[in-house]
Amino acid sequence: MIVKRFIQATRPRTYPLALSGILLANALAYAQLGTFDTHQWLIFGLSLCVALGLQILSNLANDYGDGVKGTDDHRTDRITAQKHISATVLKKIIIAWAVFIFACGVGLLWVSFDNVAEFLTFLAFGIFAIIGAMAYTMGRKPYGYHGFGEVAVFVFFGLLNVLGGLYLQTQHIGLGDVLASVVVGLLCSLVLMINNMRDIDSDRLAKKNTLAVKLGKEKVSHLYRMLILIAFFLLATFGVLRQNYYLLSIMLLIYPIGKHLSVIHAYSDETILPSEIGNQLKVIVMITLISSVLMSVSIFFNHSF
């Protein structure tokens, strides 16, 4: 039972966020290189392990941080708040996992770079990412309690995940690549935003000043809708710049996105309770993953035929 609860604490439903960025990064790399040899596949595999490891680290740290602060006392699916595992033990696990991810990251950089300066630069990025994953709710001044969570997700899961993964393969980044990373970053940020929109009342009581708490239901809903529209506008711009007509497949998402935004509108109008948008978390996660897959597949076909 404890193993099952621990796995739940790693929040498997968020794993696609780590996959989305790395998948897109390597599709962009394939477009530049034209083929992948054993070395490129090794970098891809290690990049995926590190990205997934950071996602798990962030989720465990969030469970611990919110648990010891009492923010998640109302959540029955949190192992720290419900005392399924002691905070001391979980903290030790988090530290051990962070060390493991650091070692994996060093291995990834070792096989990716011959240049010492690039190795050290990306090592600093890796350390920054590990600290960022842990500091969201852990520590005396967690940035997640001051409304910076969405910004951190945008940087780590969008810019760093996509552009970093691409640079490891090719040592080159273009304008179109930046646009692609921004699309993924915005969509990943929306996952955290809707999570905080759901928890807005309990977070306000716990003095967790997320962006949703700071803006209020109406303004954060407007921001949410604006960001998702910007993301897909940039996705269309990316397609035009790359002359990638395969990206028209993204039109398959028009209906689920429209249905998703109608629920956000109901939240804004307070015709539904915040808790009722909880099921939209899996929707935006799948929109993010499917968008990344469609982009990656379209990039592959656009440079293969």
**pLDDT tens sequence across 251-291:** 889 999 999 999 999 999 888 888 889 889 999 999 999 99
pLDDT band at 305 (very low <50, low <70, confident <90, very high): low
Do 217 and 270 meet the contact criterion of CB atoms below 8 Å apart? yes
Tokens 């595992």, residue located: 85
pLDDT at 192: 93
Reported pTM: 0.92
Instruction: Give percent above pLDDT 70 in the chain.
Output: 97
Identity of the amino acid at 153: V
Residue 242 vs residue 293, higher pLDDT:
293
pLDDT of residue 2 exceeding 70, the answer is no
Select from 63, 136, 56 the least CA-distant residue to 97: 56
Do 90 and 79 meet the contact criterion of CB atoms below 8 Å apart? yes
Tokens 């998703």, residue located: 260
User: Dihedral of CA 118/120/123/124: which sign?
Assistant: negative
Any alpha helices (H) in 70-115, and if so which ranges?
A: 87-112
pLDDT band at 56 (very low <50, low <70, confident <90, very high): very high
Identity of the amino acid at 263: V
Select from 84, 94, 88 the least CA-distant residue to 61: 94
pLDDT at 114: 87
Select from 163, 94, 176 the least CA-distant residue to 122: 163
pLDDT of residue 78 exceeding 80, the answer is no
The C-alpha atoms of residue 30 and residue 69 are separated, in whole angstroms, by: 45
Structural domain boundaries in the chain? 2-302
What is the mean pLDDT of the segment spanning 179-197?
94
- Most confident range, picked from 5-19, 65-79, 93-107: 93-107
Select from 46, 5, 6 the least CA-distant residue to 22: 46
Residue 79 vs residue 118, higher pLDDT:
118
Indicate left, alpha or beta for 218 from its phi (over 0: left) and psi (-120 to 50: alpha): alpha
The mean-pLDDT minimum among 36-45, 104-113, 140-149 falls in 140-149
